[in-house]
Structure 1
Amino acid sequence: MRDESPFKGKTGLQRVWNAFHYSLAGLRAAYLAEDAFRQEVLLAALLIPLACLVAPDGVGLALMIGSVLLVLIVELLNSAIEATVDRISLDSHPLAKRAKDIGSAAVLLALLDVLVIWACVLLG
């Protein structure tokens, strides 16, 4: 196991504390570096309070908020894929394009999921 990260040895509360800080750093990095993530955070800041006002019940509210959060999660994963591909090479390559396009497609599907869920919840 010598090839693993030296940070893998942390256990217990120290690991949880470190993971929390790495997560905050990731959110900060995505917000500062990714225009799409900032736009989706703005969308979430508008839609989550709106969901609290218009959701007919707790299940509807959970579905509406969950679908919005899913967009942010998928965007974070897409941004990580793009950063990794760019780190490997900035050269144009069909596999790099495919990876980035697939990540973008995942974000599109998550956004469509918001539309479908919100329509189902609000229109019955």
Structure 2
Amino acid sequence: MKKLLKSFGYAFAGIWSGFRTQRNIKIHVAVALLVFILGAIVSLTRMEWMIVIIVICAVISLELINTAIEAAVDMHGTKRHPLAKLAKDTAAGAVLVMSIGAVLIGLLIFLPKLYSLL
């Protein structure tokens, strides 16, 4: 049980470290808070909340993975290497793909609700 609690502590430390040090994670969290506020205003359904939460978690999780990949690559030195660039660029690309998908899903969920309010 003690090992399990320790592993959760490490995971939370990783999340906190990512939030403290990575501008993009701060941006994702700020946007997520705005989405939660807007979701409450437009009264998202249970299913819509589940989709929104999954998408937000996916984007932030990918950003944390991207941070881990960048740190691991940087640990091996500052000398430029094509494989280091590939690793960093593709990890960043994964975040971008999910972020674009998140925006599209958000538009599909929120635009009809905002339109009906007008």
Normalising by the residue count of structure 2, what TM-score does the alignment of the two structures yield?
0.85
Q: Give 1:63 deviation, angstroms.
A: 0.5
Q: Distance in 2 between the 1:107 and 1:99 partners?
A: 13
Q: Give 1:123 deviation, angstroms.
A: 4.8
Distance 1:92 1:55, change over 3 A: farther
* Structure 2: tracts of 5 or more residues without a match: 113-118
Partner of 2:8: 20
Q: Which of 77, 92, 103 does residue 80 from structure 2 map onto?
A: 92
Distance 1:113 1:55, change over 3 A: farther
* Structure 1: tracts of 5 or more residues without a match: 1-12
Worse overlay, 93-102 or 31-40 = 31-40
Partner of 2:52: 64
Q: Which of 17, 24, 29 does residue 29 from structure 1 map onto?
A: 17
CA contact (8 A) 1:67 1:114 kept: yes
SS of equivalent to 1:90: coil
Partner of 1:82: 70
Report sequence identity in percent: 29
* RMSD, aligned CA: 1.6
Does residue 42 of the first structure (1) align with residue 14 of the second (2)? Answer: no
Does residue 114 of the first structure (1) align with residue 83 of the second (2)? Answer: no
Distance 1:115 1:55, change over 3 A: farther
Q: Deviations over 1:50-74 (max 9, x none)?
A: 2233254111111112111211000
Q: Distance in 1 between the 2:19 and 2:110 partners?
A: 30
Partner of 1:6: none
CA contact (8 A) 1:52 1:61 kept: no
CA contact (8 A) 1:71 1:110 kept: yes
